[in-house]
Amino acid sequence: MARQIGDVILDLKNISLRFGGVKALTDISFDVREHEIRAIIGPNGAGKSSMLNVINGVYRPQEGEIIFRGEHRRNMDTHAAAEAGFARTFQNIALFKGMTVLDNLMAGRNLKMKSNFLQHALWWGPAKREELAHRRKVEEVIDFLDIEHIRKTPVGRLPYGLQKRVELARALAAEPQILLLDEPMAGMNVEEKQDMCRFILDVNDQLGTTIVLIEHDMGVVMDISDRVVVLDYGKKIGDGVPDDVKNNPEVIAAYLGTQH
């Protein structure tokens, strides 16, 4: 592989998150290196999605610290995270259902557009130029993910597997530095999973995007990730390269102890 894994760009330190009495995350620390694919695994309710939500500021942890590119923060803020180059997909698809694929992707690039509503209203100079320039970028993403044929379709009418792909496309449209993917292959058939795997690897390899990925399919995780964090009941029980994690007795116990 051409890509070279770099230094730590995201460092999470002693993160604890509670919802009332529920301890979703307890004292969790791990880091993410530039250009790597970092997986988060664990049984249902382990706190994986909560972890992603902490990373891009949807949830604010009660304790801990987030260090991104050397900048220390108590918590992230969604807007700051988006500006810093985080993009994500959600476990339950969170597309803009009434909008076309094209508009979803264009919306994904909104932070890169600088024209204001008066310019939009008059469809004037910068507004028009920007619309064209970004359309070109968006078409690149559309090509990349093979979704040319559904460009103009409202996403609500697409089948589940394609919606998952469009959601990845919307995240990519933002040209992110770090991509957070919450179960991108859940509910897909084997073929769709293979496509999705290929896309994720291509993104990582060709665009150099760092990826944090939650996935239940062990085969997939072991295949594509560089390092894996294992959570169980909000605690970290394993962290390392796939082979180490696979043979970690605590991890094995956690997985044997729960059904999927």
Partner 1 sequence: MFYRETGQFKTSYAADQQIFPIRQDRIGVVLLLIAAFVVMPLAASNYWFNAILIPFLIFSLAAIGLNILTGYAGQLSLGSAAFMAVGAYAAYNFQVRVEGMPILVSFMLAGLTSAGVGILFGLPSLRIKGFYLAVATLAAQFFIVWCLTKFPYLSNNSSSGVISVPGIEILGIKFDAPQERYLLVLAIVALLALVAKNMVRSTTGRAWMAVRDMDVAAEVIGIRLMRTKLLAFAISSFYCGVAGALYAFCYLGSVEPDGFSLDLSFKILFMIIVGGVGSILGSFLGAAFILLLPIFLDIFLPWLSALLQLPFDGATVSHIQLMVFGALIMFFLIVEPHGLARLWQIGKEKLRLWPFPH
Ligand X SMILES: Nc1ncnc2c1ncn2[C@@H]1O[C@H](COP(=O)(O)OP(=O)(O)OP(=O)(O)O)[C@@H](O)[C@H]1O
Least distance CB 254 / ligand X (angstroms): 12
Using alpha carbons, select from 113, 5, 38 the residue that is nearest to residue 55.
38
Least distance CB 50 / ligand X (angstroms): 3
Least distance CB 88 / Mg ion (angstroms): 12
Q: Write the single-letter amino acid at 46.
A: A
In 77-135, which ranges are E strands? 86-89
Alpha carbon distance 28, 61 (integer Å): 11
Please give the size of the binding site for ligand X, defined by CB under 6 A.
12
252 binds partner 1 (CB under 8 A): no
108 binds partner 1 (CB under 8 A): yes
What is the end-to-end Cα distance of the chain in Å, rounded?
A: 33
22 binds ligand X (CB under 6 A): yes
Alpha carbon distance 23, 19 (integer Å): 6
139 binds partner 1 (CB under 8 A): yes
Give ∠ CA 79-84-89 in degrees, rounded to 5: 70
Residue from 107, 186, 201, 207 in contact with partner 1 (CB under 8 A):
107
Q: Write the single-letter amino acid at 70.
A: G
Q: Which does 97 bind (CB under 5 to 8 A by kind): ligand X, partner 1, Mg ion, none?
A: partner 1
Please give the size of the binding site for partner 1, defined by CB under 8 A.
38
Residues in 141-170 at the binding interface with partner 1, rule: CB under 8 A: 170
How many residues would you count in the chain?
A: 260
Pairing assessment for the beta strands 22-33 and 8-19 based on DSSP bridges: antiparallel
Phi and psi for 239 in degrees, rounded to 5? -165, 125
Least distance CB 43 / ligand X (angstroms): 7
What are the residues binding partner 1 (CB under 8 A)?
56, 58, 78-79, 81-83, 87-88, 90, 94-99, 103, 106-108, 110-111, 113, 115, 117, 120-123, 127, 130-132, 135-136, 139, 170, 174
What are the residues binding Mg ion (CB under 5 A)?
49, 91
